[in-house]
Structure 1
Amino acid sequence: MPQINFVYQGKTVDIENEKTILEAARLAGVTIESPCNGIGSCGKCKVGTSGGVVLACQHHVREDMEVIVKDYNDENKSLQILSEGSNFDYDIQPFITKRVSGSKTEVYGGGKLLGIEDGDTSSFIYGLAIDIGTTTLVTALVDLSNGKTLASESTLNPQAAYAQDVLGRIHFASKDDGLAVLYNSFIEVLVTMILALTKKAGLKREHIYELVYSGNTTMLHIATNTDPYSLGQFPYTPNLFGAEHLSAKDLHISPFGIIWLPPIISAYVGADITSGILASALNKKKGTTVFIDIGTNGEMVLAKDGRLAASSTAAGPAFEGMNISCGMRASQGAIESFSIADGVFSFGVIGYNPPWGGETPITGICGSGLLDIAGELVRTGLIGKNGRFINPGNENNATPLISRIRPHEGKNAFFVTDDIYLSQKDIRQIQLAKGAIRCGIEMLLTHFNMNAADIDSLEIAGSFGYHLNEASLLNIGLLPAAFAGKTAFVGNTSMSGATAFLLNTTFRSQMTELVKEIDVVELANDENFEKNFIKHLSF
């Protein structure tokens, strides 16, 4: 059997002949990102071998070899992950309480005895709020006695190495050991994060008693080791619905530790949106508000004087940069902003105070930079409404930046630098993603018999959404023109909502009842969906 040595990770594994480097890496526990789940379409699993750079998912092993894989932790160190969102004042009424009885301390959950500890431990009562994103994980260690956040940690969701979006995760989990692989990778990273949090705060993990998991429906299935297969099959029925407690035995916290899941709205509108509704008080706002979490799974809510309708659309991984030629996550070296003025462009790079001056190596384009570039090229006419670059050979198309449009692999591309570019294929991916989200917005408006001009405010949630700018979203048509000037970026409301659930138990019953009243608009079941989607592909 050939032996593979992953040089930087210091791991060696024997693999059956003709297996791929990617399969060997997964067997060895080495992370190689493969957003397309190994079909060879994303080009993100490049590794170094003695024969040169190859795609790990396509290179079949026939002999012993050394493989160079970039250190996954390097990206984690500089990744921009937002850990907070809009919040509100509330009383501290946690589910977990303690009572000293003689030489013992009784630990209660919702008034019921969970367990007994030796000595007086009444001063040590902690919980965790966890935002389980498709791409990232964010955790906060909270003192349940006073509501203070003692420490926070964030990292990439390790499952992204196996599949980038929720549909890919569902498919991967349906394979032989797929669910176990995804669940164990999550648990391993979460336990590591818990150890880091307790070390920062100087406390024992045995004094953590409750966790609140906030995430989309697929992420909660996988995080609880629940088969998500039914989420990918009509009629798309979840195997769990939230508003329940589960054991936290795998997390090595208190022996009576428990996990609480917020109520799930539907198969594709998850507990992260329930948390967002709570954090943004959507059900209490007067007028009409659109709430959108822009990401791989674009979830959205329209709130009209307390009445709510929710939907979701598969935007795909374009906004995360994962199926974009020079795309990358928001970490060191990524172009994160871009603008054109008087025929000259400038851009900002993560790790350097913009505008970029050459000191930081540019390694790619993250989601916010991607939408800025597309938006500016559309605004200045370098990209037409149909998504095509203008012809640089046409004398009628002469502009100061025309020289930046050059042939690449048989089609035009816009070169930001000599190595970093936006291709015609990339533009198509942006059109598909933005068309899906715009279609969702329009169909929620139709559900309420409203027009875009009737909207009073737009709230964009999520770590990715927080780094966007309204002008770019308007330029590419992701948002209706009537939304101009109405946008607020509310941050990681999944996390702030999870913290509120952790600290005030009354919110749990309130939101469980509210979720039952939300209209779920299933876009795929609407006869006008395909027509609306195609309509909104154009810029």
Structure 2
Amino acid sequence: MPKITFINKQKTVMIAEGSTILDAARSAGIEIESPCNALGSCGKCKVKIPNPEHLGHLKIVESKHSVSAAELADGIVLACQTIPSADIEVIIKDYKEENSSLRILTEGNSFAYEQLPYITKRPKLNSTEVYGGDTLIGVEEGNTLELLYAIALDIGTTTIVAALIDLRTGIQIASNSILNPQAAYAQDVLSRIHFASNPEGLNTLYRSFIDALNAMIGDLVVQNKINASNIYEIVFSGNTTMIHLATGVNPYSLGQYPYTPQIYGGNHISAESIGVSISPFGLIYLPPIISAYVGADITSGILVSRLDEIKGTVLFIDIGTNGEMALVKNGKLAVTSTAAGPAFEGMNISCGMRASKGSIESFNVDSKGIFSFEVIGGGDPAGICGSGLLDIAGELVRTGVIGPSGRFVLPDSGTYSDFLKESFKEKNGKKVFFLSPDVYLAQKDIRQIQLAKSAIRSGIEMLLSYFNLSSDTIDAVEIAGSFGYHLNEASLINLGLLPQAFIGKVKFTGNTSLSGAKAFLLNVGFREKMKSLVKKIETVELAKESEFEKMFIKYMGF
């Protein structure tokens, strides 16, 4: 049995013959990102074998994203496709470093509202009573009236954001954010549903979330010198799959017709029952869920955007791995969701990465045909994040480097600038567009962009069709989400992700999932209001719409 030593994690594990390095890491409780779930199709589970002699002990399975000869010579292999036959040492990526530099939005649009929290306290002789609404939920010794905290939590497919709230004042004391550890096992909603379809997979995703949440709570209480036992409520705002996984409920039915959730929200569960380390009588509030693929995060967004109160026609879009959207016409609401995939998070892209230090986040081509870009944290680029990817594609479409079909217009037939032409070089026998000596855009990357943008655009068009509207009748477009906040209107229009008629109508509203979670915390009246409203919202199920496939094909081009 080979012995695998993870040097920078100070852990050693014995594995059975035929097991991979990824298998070894998982058995040791070490996180190695493998969002394609070990299919060898994402190329994100690279690890380093520091001892050249150990390379001879490896059987490497050929896969879609096999490492290059140069990488292999440097000891870089894919953990999911590498089988040790003898003892080896391994160095893996430090995710704490990526978390520390990751750009995650922690603010979203909201509005002024009366403060009426669900959790309150009342003094008693030598004790303090804690109430949830009108129900006594616990009694504490002494006077703890001034110790009254709660957490608003945005559970994204890629990131998790926690905001610590003082319920006496309504003030946000602090916030923190991390990568969702579940992304190391499965990168998007559908792959997580599949991963969690058996008890072992479900427990892996559930425990990884709970452990991460407890670590976030621990950081918040230490940094702000409070006690976790004085945190009494957490609002879980996230898409339907994330809410299932966060509460340990198998989401298998979300992946099977008729796509029925196991839970619908609008209720409390005990924090202790799912292993969350706050007050022993602490509660988790789950906002109302709209449908299998339109979750509590959109309920939160509808709440703080006050869509149901708007006079006129407004489109609300949360762009991410799961593109959820709502259209309101004079108070009548309809929603839908499209599987945009992980390209917007930098996944399945040759040089893709999350929005952390070293990623290209914006790109521009000037009137002379010379391009420039901005890198998060400055310095040389290490890769491209989602916002940079859409900027690059949008500018290359505008300047004619990428044609309407999505194919590169190569230098010998292109009419664009010499500077742009010089950026085309060969990589593994194919022409790619280089942004720096180490970062490039390949033809297959453009295909991923096309798939993602067509999914979003087709969803928009189907919602418009549901209301018998044309794009020029839309009064305003609100784009929510951490990813959406870093986009720019021009790139979205250039790519055709948004119709030309939306020019000048787009505004970016930030993390409304989080700001909505805060509103649910601070005004109990919103809970019944949204529970009632959700029942009136129409859901457009794209899988049932015969026109969706035609729309999808139509909007693949630029």
Q: What TM bracket, shorter-length normalisation?
A: over 0.9
Structure-1 residue corresponding to 2:59: none
Alignment pair present for 1:453 and 2:476: no
Structure-2 residue corresponding to 1:226: 249
Matched to 1:10, the amino acid is: Q
Alignment pair present for 1:524 and 2:543: yes
How far 1:407 moved relative to its partner?
3.0
Runs (5+) with no aligned partner, structure 1? 353-359
Matched to 1:320, the amino acid is: E
Alignment counterpart, residue 272 of structure 1, candidates 265, 275, 297: 297
Matched to 2:394, the amino acid is: G
Contact 1:285 1:305 in 2 (8 A): yes
Structure-1 residue corresponding to 2:373: 347
How far 1:406 moved relative to its partner?
2.5
Alignment counterpart, residue 164 of structure 1, candidates 187, 190, 195: 187
| Cα separation, 1, equivalents of 2:389 and 2:400 | 17
Matched to 1:107, the amino acid is: V
| Cα separation, 2, equivalents of 1:175 and 1:39 | 18
Alignment root-mean-square deviation, CA: 1.1
Contact 1:106 1:113 in 2 (8 A): yes
Structure-2 residue corresponding to 1:357: none
| Cα separation, 2, equivalents of 1:398 and 1:295 | 33
Structure 1 SS opposite 2:465: helix
Matched to 2:371, the amino acid is: F
Distance change (3 Å), C-alpha of 1:97 and 1:58? same
| Cα separation, 2, equivalents of 1:40 and 1:428 | 19
Alignment pair present for 1:85 and 2:104: no
Structure-2 residue corresponding to 1:146: 169
Structure 2 SS opposite 1:239: coil
> What is the correspondence of 1:264-413 to structure 2 with a 5 Å cutoff?
264-341=289-366, 342-352=368-378, 360-394=379-413, 399-413=418-432
Alignment pair present for 1:110 and 2:133: yes
Structure-1 residue corresponding to 2:150: 127
How far 1:83 moved relative to its partner?
0.6
Deviations, residues 307-356 of structure 1 (Å, cap 9, x unaligned): 1100000000000001100000000000001000111000000002xxxx
Alignment counterpart, residue 442 of structure 2, candidates 409, 420, 423: 423
Distance change (3 Å), C-alpha of 1:147 and 1:397? closer
Distance change (3 Å), C-alpha of 1:277 and 1:398? closer
Matched to 2:370, the amino acid is: V
Structure-1 residue corresponding to 2:493: 474
Structure-1 residue corresponding to 2:17: 17
What is the aligned length?
A: 532
| Cα separation, 2, equivalents of 1:444 and 1:107 | 45
How far 1:238 moved relative to its partner?
0.4
Q: Which moved more, 1:426-435 or 1:184-193?
A: 184-193
Structure-1 residue corresponding to 2:94: 71
Matched to 1:248, the amino acid is: A
Contact 1:170 1:218 in 2 (8 A): yes
Contact 1:392 1:398 in 2 (8 A): no
Distance change (3 Å), C-alpha of 1:508 and 1:395? closer
| TM-score (norm. length: structure 1) | 0.97
| Cα separation, 2, equivalents of 1:34 and 1:417 | 26
Contact 1:391 1:397 in 2 (8 A): no
Structure 1 SS opposite 2:145: coil
| Cα separation, 1, equivalents of 2:41 and 2:470 | 39
Alignment pair present for 1:242 and 2:265: yes
Structure-2 residue corresponding to 1:35: 35
Alignment pair present for 1:101 and 2:124: yes
Q: Which moved more, 1:50-59 or 1:441-450?
A: 50-59
Distance change (3 Å), C-alpha of 1:398 and 1:280? closer
| TM-score (norm. length: structure 2) | 0.94
Structure 2 SS opposite 1:212: strand
| Cα separation, 2, equivalents of 1:60 and 1:110 | 56
Contact 1:9 1:71 in 2 (8 A): no
Structure 2 SS opposite 1:99: strand
Contact 2:400 2:414 in 1 (8 A): no
Among all aligned residue pairs of Structure 1 and Structure 2, give the percentage whose two residues are the same amino acid.
Answer: 62
Structure 1 SS opposite 2:327: strand
How far 1:285 moved relative to its partner?
1.1
Contact 2:400 2:415 in 1 (8 A): no
Structure-1 residue corresponding to 2:69: none
Alignment counterpart, residue 458 of structure 2, candidates 415, 432, 439: 439
Structure-2 residue corresponding to 1:198: 221
Q: Which moved more, 1:502-511 or 1:176-185?
A: 176-185
| Cα separation, 2, equivalents of 1:519 and 1:477 | 26
Structure 2 SS opposite 1:8: helix
Contact 2:369 2:416 in 1 (8 A): no
Q: Which moved more, 1:424-433 or 1:395-404?
A: 395-404
Alignment pair present for 1:188 and 2:211: yes
Deviations, residues 238-276 of structure 1 (Å, cap 9, x unaligned): 000000100101112111011000000000000000000
